[in-house]
Chains A and B, each alone.
Chain A
Amino acid sequence: MLELLTKFSHKAEIRESKDEIMVGEIVRAMARRGYPSIGYTVDADLQRVKFKTVGDPVLAHVYVGLDRKTGGGALSNALLGAKATLTIAVEVKNYVADPDDLVAMYRTDFANIFKTPVLGGVRLNHELNSVFATTTKLIEIGDYVMKGEEGVQRLTALLNGTIQDLRERVRPFKKG
């Protein structure tokens, strides 16, 4: 058992775990809308989860990333709060590969190399037979976690609203 206990880093205060608390709530909120998690990328500052949009006629996957900016230490948490960048991306996948379409998408791929994401804006990107729409939001983690059911509802509304907006942006690219 000692081995299992050593797998976790020691965190003196719960504020050091706010990102993980939020990731847990994101996973549960997505599960409640029928989107199970299918991939995790986690490190000290960046947590990214991939969800499968089961039964969604437009979307194939949703990606949610949380990048902690401030609040890891007691002082910055007190002064600045626990700010983080929340990145949400949706993916449309066209399973039928028409060579003519692939040629057209290749041109878009090349054009997108020079685009950079803008905070609050939506970026559209083609990658082979997928089309992505991505947006980023600067959030205060404390607005959503450790606030009981009110925080959960606020997070659910944020995720649902953003995913709905992004879905409308990529809907025209879904074939069939």
Chain B
Amino acid sequence: MSTPLATLPPPDAPAVYVMAPEGQLGPLPLDAILERVSRGELPSDAPVWFEGLPNWIRMGEHPQLRERLAANGRGAAPPAAPPRAATRRSDDEQDRAFAGLIQQSWKHFERNLFAAHVDEVFIGAVITSTLDNGYALIDITSDGSNHYLRFEDLEDRSRIIYQLHHLAGDAASAKVLGHIASVVVGYGERVGNLTRALSATQAEYKSGYLQSAEPGTITIDADVATGYIYTQVDMYWNISDYVAEDYAIDYDLLTEHVGASIHALRKYLRGRIG
């Protein structure tokens, strides 16, 4: 059998604590609390405590309080819903609200989309800039995260190869890291002397120990199948230096950087193989 709950304090005595949505209030007179309930400022099942109660209880759990609430018109029953006519908006208004939501969503979607496909924008910029340096695209492939491009100068047959990897593929990573790309650039020339090519391959065995090449480290290798010898350098380029968020591309700067990389690699290759 449960213990009877303590009798309510006098209605005008500041003796009741109540747990309001904004935090604990009190001690307040019971009348003041009931008035707040009737004004809708407090829920009718708000927890209360006054001297004599072993623990906090909900207002509706105390028989006397329940009667007082019912007398105030704030019993357990929920308030009547407002008339439908007052809340229902017209078809046009609702269509406009929906269209607003969609427009807002497109802005967020476009921002994420830019972060996701800025590497493809960069690929196009690299293709354009390398063509502007006198080369033709002869190969394009991708494994999903790394993109590979190969170009050839159709007159002197020299080749450029790229490996591009965008290190921040989403908007959040890009916010922290920026749109940094790992870029490997290689420059190759065809050599008639296979012995020389194989000798370059042997040199590469040494550079093969470089698990993670540092920027500026130029390595050399031979592609025996095609008779080309390549020099290669690892770099990190900030895509944002070339591609703005409004898709404006600084082709002049990229063409200059591509040209300078080709120049350095060509000089190194010719210095090595004479």
* Pairs A-B, 9 closest by C-beta atoms: A24-B137, A37-B124, A17-B138, A1-B221, A31-B128, A7-B148, A97-B102, A96-B99, A28-B128
A35 → chain B closest CB, angstroms? 9
User: How far apart sit A145 and B125, CA to CA, in the bound complex (Å)?
Assistant: 20
Chain B residues, CB < 8 A from A10: 225-226
A5 and B163 within 8 A (CB): no
Q: Is the interface of A mostly helix, strand, loop or mixed?
A: mixed
B contact residues vs A (CB 8 Å cutoff) = 95, 98-99, 102-103, 106, 117, 120-121, 123-125, 127-128, 131-132, 136-143, 146, 148, 150-152, 154, 161, 163, 184, 186, 204, 207-208, 219-221, 223, 225-226, 230, 232, 243, 246-249, 251
A11 and B138 within 8 A (CB): yes
User: How far apart sit A146 and B152, CA to CA, in the bound complex (Å)?
Assistant: 12
Chain A residues, CB < 8 A from B136: 17, 21, 24-25, 145-146
Interface size range of chain A in the complex: 35 or more
Please give me the residue from chain B that is nearest to A22 by CB atom: B137
A27 and B102 within 8 A (CB): no
A98 within 8 A of B: yes
Can you sample 22 A-B contacts with CB below 8 Å? A1-B221, A5-B223, A7-B141, A10-B226, A14-B152, A20-B137, A20-B138, A21-B138, A25-B136, A31-B124, A31-B128, A36-B121, A37-B123, A37-B127, A38-B120, A42-B141, A52-B247, A95-B102, A96-B99, A98-B99, A100-B95, A146-B136
A36 and B223 within 8 A (CB): no
B232 and A4 within 8 A (CB): yes
Known A-B contacts A38-B121, A95-B106; A1 and B141 likewise in contact (beta carbons under 8 Å): no
User: How far apart sit A98 and B94, CA to CA, in the bound complex (Å)?
Assistant: 10
Please give me the residue from chain B that is nearest to A53 by CB atom: B247
A39 and B95 within 8 A (CB): no
A40 and B120 within 8 A (CB): yes
User: How far apart sit A8 and B141, CA to CA, in the bound complex (Å)?
Assistant: 8
A8 and B148 within 8 A (CB): yes
A15 → chain B closest CB, angstroms? 11
A144 → chain B closest CB, angstroms? 12
User: How far apart sit A31 and B252, CA to CA, in the bound complex (Å)?
Assistant: 13
Complex partner residue of B137 from A11, A21, A99, A146, CB under 8 angstroms: A21
A8 and B139 within 8 A (CB): yes
Residue of A11, A23, A37, A146 with highest tally of chain B CB at under 10 A: A37
